[in-house]
Amino acid sequence: MCNGVIKRFKIKINKFDFLQMNRIIIINENYVNWKNIVN
């Protein structure tokens, strides 16, 4: 039972990290595009 809960918790963290990573990548791309437009 404990192992199942830990596995589920790890999966949730992995999904969250993936979403955060995607958000950071999108922000970086937007920042680069914005710099190119300004320059």
Place of tokens 């999904």: 15
Model pLDDT, residue 7: 78
pLDDT in tens, 1-39: 567 776 777 777 777 788 888 888 888 888 888 888 886
Structure tokens at 11: 């999966």
Model pLDDT, residue 19: 81
Burial class (CB in 10 A: 0-12, 13-18, 19+), 14: exposed
Query: What does the alpha-carbon distance between residue 38 and residue 34 come to, in Å, rounded to a whole number?
Result: 6
DSSP letter, residue 20: H
Q: Which helix (H) or strand (E) element contains residue 1?
A: none
Model pLDDT, residue 17: 80
Model pLDDT, residue 15: 78
Which pTM does this prediction carry? 0.41
